[in-house]
Amino acid sequence: MHPSRIPALALAADLVAVVVFAAVGRISHAEADSLIGLAGTALPFLIGAAVAWATPWVRASPASLQAGFVVLALTAGIGFLLRLGFLGRLPLSFAVVAVVSLAVLLLGWRGLSGTVARLRGPREPSHG
């Protein structure tokens, strides 16, 4: 894979992870399966992910676990603050499940990616 593609793929993976988190949460609560509802659930966390991606820590090495922890912290933290502001409540049980779910999704793909990269070993750059 060409190194210049890694940031775009990492960003896409993070955004998909947040949307999957929101979709699974809505399904588990038997909420209406509308795109507007999904967007409303995901949006606070997508904003948090966007803020994380604006930091130099994530942009410097977006597929690293360190970047994953920054994305996790800001996605969850900002998402919770926005949900609290809009809904006026943030149940502890939701916060715990959300952090664990987001950690599995946002750190999980990075861990798998790092493992695959180590197993494949160093590659010579292609010329062509």
CA distance linking residue 80 with residue 91, whole number of Å: 10
CA torsion, points 97, 98, 99, 104, in degrees to nearest 10? 90
Residue 109: give the domain boundaries.
3-10+18-120
Is residue 73 in some structural domain? yes
User: Which pLDDT band holds residue 124 (cuts at 50, 70, 90)?
Assistant: low
Structure tokens at 7: 């940031």
Is residue 127 in some structural domain? no
pLDDT in tens, 21-74: 999 988 887 766 778 888 989 999 999 999 999 999 999 999 999 999 999 999
The confidence score (pLDDT) of residue 6 equals 86
Q: Which of 76, 71, 74, 75 is nearest to 61 (CA)?
A: 71
pLDDT in tens, 88-106: 999 999 999 999 999 999 9
Task: Look up residue 125 and give its DSSP letter.
Answer: P
Count structural domains, the chain: 1
Is residue 35 in some structural domain? yes
Q: What's the CA angle centered on 55, arms 54 and 57, to 5 degrees?
A: 140
